[in-house]
Amino acid sequence: MTLHVELVSPERVVLDTEATMVMARTLGGGDIAFMTGHAPFLGALATHTLTIFMADGSREVAAVHGGFVSVTNDHVRVLSDMAELGSGIDVARARAGAQAADEAARAGSDTEAEAALRRAQARLSAAGVTTS
């Protein structure tokens, strides 16, 4: 038995695959993982990475910037405004973005800059780069 996972952004279906486990972080700040037979669930996602353990043993990491996860009958649907697969992220650009956001957050520390920083960090960790 596997989970059917769909990662959907407004512009397209980013990922449609079979997986054994999906790990996400909800708006409350806690991580949650779904495996087969999970009770129906609906949650709002935080800006964080989404880890999908594929049926073939490999692992796919995606950056999601807000959004929702719904689980029904071993069908996991992740809806996100912005969802990027780790493999599709331009690390150099993400790093530059993180730096700019970091500086902006330090200078003004407004919510916008902090959100941008969180997005940049999610993007970087999805791409497999560890952030300090």
Partner 1 sequence: MAGGQERILRRRIKSVESTKKITRAMELIAATRVVKAHERSSMARPYAEAMTSVILDLVQAGAAKEHPLLQKHEGARSEAILVVTSDRGLCGAYNSTVIRLAEQEIAARLAAGRDYTLFVVGSKAQTYFRFRGYDMAEVFLGVTDRPDYDHARAITAAMVPRFESGEFEAGVLIYWRFLSAGAQQSVVRRFLPLEVDEGGTGGLGGAPMPSADLEYEPSPTAILNELLPRYVEGRVFSALLDASASEHAARQRAMKSATDNAEELKLSLSRIMNRARQDAITTEIMEIVGGAEALGSDRGSKTSLMPESLVPRHLFSQNLDPSDPSAVRH
Cβ of residue 78: shortest distance to partner 1, in angstroms?
A: 9
* 23-52 binders of partner 1 (CB under 8 A): 26-28, 32, 39-44
* Smaller CB separation from partner 1, 61 or 83: 83
Cβ of residue 83: shortest distance to partner 1, in angstroms?
A: 10
* Smaller CB separation from partner 1, 73 or 87: 73
Return d(Cα 42, Cα 91) in angstroms, integer: 31
Q: Which class for 123: exposed (0-12), middle (13-18), buried (19 or more C-beta within 10 A)?
A: buried
Q: What DSSP line would sit under 92-130, residue for residue? A: HHHHHHHHHHHHHHHHH--HHHHHHHHHHHHHHHHTT--
How many CB atoms are closer than 10 A to CB 32?
16
Cβ of residue 68: shortest distance to partner 1, in angstroms?
A: 6
| Binding interface with partner 1 (CB under 8 A) | 6, 8-13, 26-28, 32, 39-44, 66, 68, 70, 72-73, 77, 79, 81
